[in-house]
Amino acid sequence: MVYYNSSTKQHPVNEPSKKMDQPLEFYQSLPKVELHRHLEGSIRVETLADIGREHNFPQRDTSTLRPLVQIGKDEPYTFENFLSKFAILRLFYRTPDVIGRITREAIADAAADNVRYLELRFTPVALSKAEGFPLGHVMDWVVDGALAGQEQYGVVTRLIASVNRHESPDLAEQVVWLAMERRNRGIIGLDLAGNEAEFPAQPFEGIFLEAKQEGLGITIHAGEWAGAENIVEAITEFGSSRIGHGVRVLEDETAIALARERKTVFEVCITSNHQSGVVQHLLQHPFPMMLNAGLNATLNTDDPSISKITLSEEYQVACEKLGLPVAMLPERILAAAQAAYLPPEEKAALVERLRNELNEKIPAA
């Protein structure tokens, strides 16, 4: 595997030794925006245990399940190990009630962490496989769960349908058409994910361009497990306004210049990048260097249950370990809000609400 080159010549936003030493409670108090959170990586272990007991799985208690579906400190931080957690999780999507429940609980957990706006991405093909559910049914169950969760927990929630590079374009096209039919029920975007090192994006280009023309926001996982050229392709060929991860953008000055020019938003996931082996050492994560290069990088969790993290903890890592000044957090939170795939009036109202509250929390911002 190719890893992020930590020798890239950039200066960090701040020296980690000059950290602010804010307690976690401070970060928890901040209103937040999350653009990159996978439903399948957000499932509570306790919920998995309930499903395991109900369906008589061998994995039916939390102590057995945790090492199977969460990253432990003593495990190898590799792409293969990270993905192995999803292979286990896919065994548990057994009923419509389960899919609705995990969606509602993902929103409840976001609410408990003071997330005000959440874009939750989900992979219909992965959710359908265990029982062979029709893709449209699966998408409706997620949509219904999201609507119920939004109403119950007060988090403005929108959905992004995700397709994988290793699957057929015909299957992806089905997902896209089903997503477009559900735009008025909260599906607002389309994501291309999966193994970018071994599977090209090009077969999906026409599908994504059509989805963009129909009004879906486009975000592409790129520059994570392959080089910056994939980021350039996502921006120029797919018309993507956002990039999932994108940490290898710093390897190519052309990619940096293009992303700056197009105001591309990077959905950065610090802990996930480390645990999946993309960034070998947490303190060498390029998030501060991306900001110093003039890139619009936002903070996200990716898979909070697998990584055993919250968005508040990601903020804390960025500030306390990577040296991001606390005063810059409101700017990054508002940048995420401004990148939301919302209608202009809704987005403006969200940004204004967040700005007012952040000014109270961090007056110097």
Quick one: pLDDT band at residue 364, thresholds 50, 70, 90?
A: low
User: Which residue would you say has higher pLDDT here, 346 or 13?
Assistant: 346
The separation between the first and the last C-alpha atoms of the chain, rounded to the nearest angstrom, is: 40
The tokens for 221 are: 């996982």
**What's the pTM value of the predicted model, to 2 decimals?**
0.93
116 three-state secondary structure: strand
How many whole angstroms separate alpha carbon 82 and alpha carbon 79? 5
Point out which residues pair with 120 in neighbouring strands.
37, 159
As a whole number, the mean pLDDT across the chain is: 93
Rounded to the nearest 5°, which phi and psi values hold at 189?
Answer: -150, 170
Give pLDDT, residue 10.
Answer: 36
The tokens for 327 are: 């005063």
Name every residue whose Cβ is closer than 8 Å to that of residue 98 and which is 6 or more positions away in sequence: 51, 92
Name every residue whose Cβ is closer than 8 Å to that of residue 41 and which is 6 or more positions away in sequence: 85, 86, 89, 302, 303, 304, 305, 306, 307
Point out which residues pair with 242 in neighbouring strands.
219, 265
Domains, in order of start, for the chain = 16-43+101-361 (3.20.20.140)
Helices 135-153 and 96-112 pack at an angle, to 10 degrees, of 30
Percent of the chain with pLDDT over 70: 94
269-302 pLDDT, tens per residue?
A: 999 999 999 999 999 999 999 999 999 999 999 9
Q: Which residues are catalytic?
A: 224
Quick one: pLDDT band at residue 8, thresholds 50, 70, 90?
A: very low
117-139 pLDDT, tens per residue?
A: 999 999 999 999 999 999 999 99
The answer to whether residue 144 scores a pLDDT higher than 80 is: yes
